[in-house]
Amino acid sequence: MRIESLMRTVFWNYDTNETKMIDQRILPGELAIVSFKDHVSLGHAITNMTVRGAPAIGAAAAFGLALAGFESLASSTSTLLEDLEAASATLKKARPTAVNLAWALDRILDRLRGFSGGADDLRQAVLEEAQRIADEDVEINQRMAQHGAALIDDGDTIIHHCNTGALATVDWGTALGVIRTAHEQGKKVHVLVDETRPRLQGARLTAWELQQYGIPFDLISDNMAGTFLHTGQVQKVLFGADRVAANGDVANKVGTYMLALAARDNDVPAYSVVPTSTVDLSLAHGGLIPIEERDQAEVLEIRFMGQTATPKGVTARNIAFDVTPHRLLSGIITENGVVYPPFDENLPRFVKTT
């Protein structure tokens, strides 16, 4: 059974056997849906951030594998499996940090081991599992949001980093989903939205989502967060994660580490909100998480007063993620409840209940 929604970030068109998704590069100026018929172009869409956010990337990759099944001309199950393995390897290269990408692909292929049936049955099985991953993401986000909303008090001002709403997932959201749920419960919350340079996911995407939900917010530049925390104007800090190590270290959009440091220095609770699929128990600590460095043009092409903000000839570094040490986290909110320190002891129990 498919969960129906007015708008999902990524979804399968059953009439045309295409993957469709919201093009997040052009929001908030335009809400456009783009279509993909092959897994290679879908992989490019993950790389160029047409779709972004760890859960959304995982679902997109899963549907990309379904596309690969329909692309393949194989008439035997064994040959089709080989084609799917090759497509999986291609898709895994799209972005290295978000563990959900590889998790979704491995989950599908693992469930196909020893598959008995024809090639067309196998194609259908891949699509069914991809759809299941997408539908589960919505349900998981809503469970996670309920656990997180219980930590939000009426009247809280919350700093939120990057975008973790419906756009970062299949639907609903992680950290922003918590805020959305608290708002729908009638709690009066106010959000301070980090711009999230250089791609401005906070300014472009989170601000747009909060407008749709009618949640009060102010946009702040990334370097203002410490001042708001130091002056007692913030009660909670929320962000998502692209990968969580076994000890609770969190890789998230760059700037999260500095935000968590400022929160700890001012005794403000900081929570990472993640589905357990984002927890990578195979990595002992965050230093082992691969960190993506993107094209310097994303930094150099930021514009000010109608022109690029940097002189010609300038070079830049563009590290996309940083690692927040577990000691700075008050808790990790998952669909199975809130995980508190010591994370190395408690995280495995929460992950294994899924």
332 shares a domain with 183: yes
133 shares a domain with 51: yes
CATH number of domain containing 18: 1.20.120.420
Q: Which of 85, 112, 141 is the last residue of a domain?
A: 141
Q: Which of 114, 141, 168 is the last residue of a domain?
A: 141
The model's pLDDT over 218-242, given as tens digits with 9 standing for 90+, comes to 999 999 999 999 999 999 999 999 9
Question: What mean pLDDT value characterizes the chain?
Answer: 95
Phi, psi of 27 (to 5 degrees): -75, 150
Whole-number percent of the chain with pLDDT over 70: 98
Structural domain contains residue 5:
no
155 shares a domain with 105: no
Q: Which of 141, 159, 179 is the last residue of a domain?
A: 141
According to the model, what pLDDT value does residue 174 have?
98
- How many CB atoms are located within 10 Å of the residue 249 CB? 26
Question: How confident is the model over 194-213, as a mean pLDDT?
Answer: 96
180 shares a domain with 51: no
Q: 123: closest CA among 91, 89, 92, 79? A: 79
86 shares a domain with 178: no
Per-residue pLDDT for 3 more than 60? no
According to the model, what pLDDT value does residue 354 have?
41
How far apart are alpha carbons 94 and 102 in whole angstroms? 10
Domain span at 47: 10-141
Calculate the dihedral angle through the C-alpha atoms of 101, 106, 111, 115, rounding to the nearest 10 degrees.
120
How far apart are alpha carbons 94 and 61 in whole angstroms? 9
How far apart are alpha carbons 54 and 240 in whole angstroms? 9
The model's pLDDT over 256-315, given as tens digits with 9 standing for 90+, comes to 999 999 999 999 999 999 999 999 999 999 999 999 999 999 999 988 888 989 999 999
Structural domain contains residue 247:
yes
Question: How confident is the model over 74-96, as a mean pLDDT?
Answer: 95
192 shares a domain with 52: no
The DSSP code sequence of 254-285 is: TTHHHHHHHHHHTT--EEEE--GGGEETT-SS
301 shares a domain with 322: yes
For the chain, first and last CA: distance in Å? 20
105 shares a domain with 155: no
According to the model, what pLDDT value does residue 97 have?
85
Give the DSSP letter of residue 203. Answer: I
Could you give the count of Cα atoms lying within 13 Å of 190 in the half-sphere of its Cβ? 11
The active-site residue, picked from 135, 171, 222, 242, is: 242
Per-residue pLDDT for 4 more than 50? no
User: Is 135 known to be catalytic?
Assistant: no
> Would strands 243-245 and 279-280 be described as parallel, antiparallel, or unpaired?
parallel
The model's pLDDT over 97-138, given as tens digits with 9 standing for 90+, comes to 888 999 999 999 999 988 888 999 999 999 999 999 999 999
181 shares a domain with 222: yes
Q: 340: closest CA among 280, 270, 256? A: 270
179 shares a domain with 37: no
**3-class DSSP state of 333:** strand
Is the peptide bond preceding residue 28 cis, with omega within 30 degrees of 0?
yes
Q: How many domains does the chain have?
A: 2
How far apart are alpha carbons 112 and 272 in whole angstroms? 33
CATH number of domain containing 251: 3.40.50.10470
343 shares a domain with 196: yes
Query: Which residues are registered as beta bridge partners of 217?
Result: 191
The model's pLDDT over 92-102, given as tens digits with 9 standing for 90+, comes to 999 988 889 99
243 shares a domain with 304: yes
Question: How confident is the model over 42-49, as a mean pLDDT?
Answer: 97
Structural domain contains residue 137:
yes
